[in-house]
Structure 1
């Protein structure tokens, strides 16, 4: 399923946070949003998973306006991992992940064998199958992150919307998560602060600055020293990664650009 964001603007308390954004998340590809803090990445993603209503513009899922779908129907197409990840949920890990099956169930319906299999598979994918009976609130930040990602997988969506999915994860689990996303082959719209992670996992990047999309394209074309200086305020060189050949950004931590 393809996502088209057309002339999207979002405002808070009279202040425009995203202005006239145009971007595409192609079917089966990983599309990244990068930009400094406050550039509008999370705000834009919230409109895709219907947490916010845009002031103007629209979000299309394979040509259908998202707002024409019922919340339950859109939830069958789009699953989100937002930045707001409450830790005080008095549920077990298994119960949290099972919430991903809600869009497919009638009110008060219990889980059936297919639901339980889907939940177990999602937990195994993120390496949390051994924690199914633990309380969600007792988990570390990284563990909670992986459980909420499993909940999104259990939703079996056409589109994954992930807001900083590598936050709280150690290096090993960051690498495993990015490899897992690549292997999914699912339309994915993801915001990332780590530009090297974005360069390695994303097929296409959109750079936001001041609420506007200022550059779009493959990572190698977008992440140039000039853009890194102008948008992120850093001095950097872009070289080939010695193991993968992906663009690798080497930052100069000694002086400002």
Structure 2
């Protein structure tokens, strides 16, 4: 589902956090948000899944303003994994993932066969098949992250909004998650601190700096040494990955810009 962010401005506590941001994620496109801490990435994503109301501009799903949708409609179209993961849930892994089916269930109606099938598949996709009865509160940070991803997948959304989804994941599960997102080809808005992961995963990158959009385009065009120095304050060379051919950023850890 095509997602358009039009002239988005967000003001929090009297400070303009985002200013006139415009970007588009096409049908099935993985659009990455990158930028230093405090650049407005999380704020932008929160407006997409309606956690924040913009002071100007709008978010459109297939041409329709998300603010005109009911919460249930929004939940059927958009699944979000925010950075704020919540506290310890006194639920099993399966119960947490099954919460993703709520937008499709009538009030007081129980699960049906379709719900059970979707939940099982979501757990399989994140590598947690067989862990259904484990306590969510007893899981490691990485395991919790995968449970919440499974919950998002169980919503069967047309748009995924993921804020730093690789946090807490070990290298293997980071690689598996990125491969899974690439294979699913759902319209995805994702923020990532790891620029090499962003270059490998994303069809287009949108660079935020001090609340403004300063660059957009394919990773190979956006991730230049000049931009990395200007926006991130680092010296770097952009090479070709020997295994994948993706852009590979080699940072100069001895002489920062």
Q: Normalising to structure 1: TM-score of the pair? A: 0.99
SS class of match (1:107) = coil
Number of aligned residues:
257
Deviations 1:77-104 (A, max 9, x none): 0000110112411111100000000111
Task: Tell me the residue number matched to 1:10.
Answer: 10
CA distance in structure 1 between the partners assigned to 2:76 and 2:165 by the alignment: 20
Q: Deviations over 1:47-95 (max 9, x none)?
A: 0011111010000001011111111011100000110112411111100
> CA–CA distance in 2 between the matches of 1:128 and 1:16?
41
Structure-2 separation of matches of 1:138 and 1:55 = 40
- The secondary structure found in structure 1 opposite 2:39 is coil
Alpha-carbon distance in structure 1 between the residues aligned to 2:21 and 2:32: 14
Q: Report whether the alignment pairs 1:92 with 2:83.
A: no
How far 1:108 moved relative to its partner? 2.0
- 1:176-255 correspondence runs (5 A): 176-255=176-255
**Unpaired runs of 5+ in structure 1?**
none
Deviations 1:184-205 (A, max 9, x none): 0110000000000000000000
1:89-136 C-alpha deviation (Å, 9 max, x unpaired): 111110000000011112222111110110000000000112110111
Return the alpha-carbon distance in structure 2 between the equivalents of residues 154 and 88 of structure 1.
Answer: 20
> SS state of the match for residue 129, structure 1?
coil
Contact 1:32–1:192 under 8 Å retained in 2: yes
Give secondary structure in 2 for the equivalent of 1:226: helix
Decide whether the 8 Å contact of 1:87 with 1:136 is kept in 2.
Answer: no
1:81-120 matched pairs, under 5 angstroms:
81-120=81-120
Cα separation, partners in 2 of 1:46 and 1:187, compared to 1, 3 Å = same
Measured against aligned partners, the alpha-carbon deviations of 1:118-171 in whole angstroms (never above 9, x if no partner) come to 000000000011211011111000000000000000000000000000000000
Give me the whole-angstrom Cα distance separating, in 1, the residues matched to 2:235 and 2:130: 44
SS in 2 for 1:244: coil
CA separation in 1, counterparts of 2:256 and 2:154?
A: 45
Query: Residue 74 of structure 1 aligns with which residue?
Result: 74
Distance apart, 1:256 and its partner CA: 1.7
RMSD over aligned CA atoms reads 0.6
Aligned-partner SS, 1:255:
coil
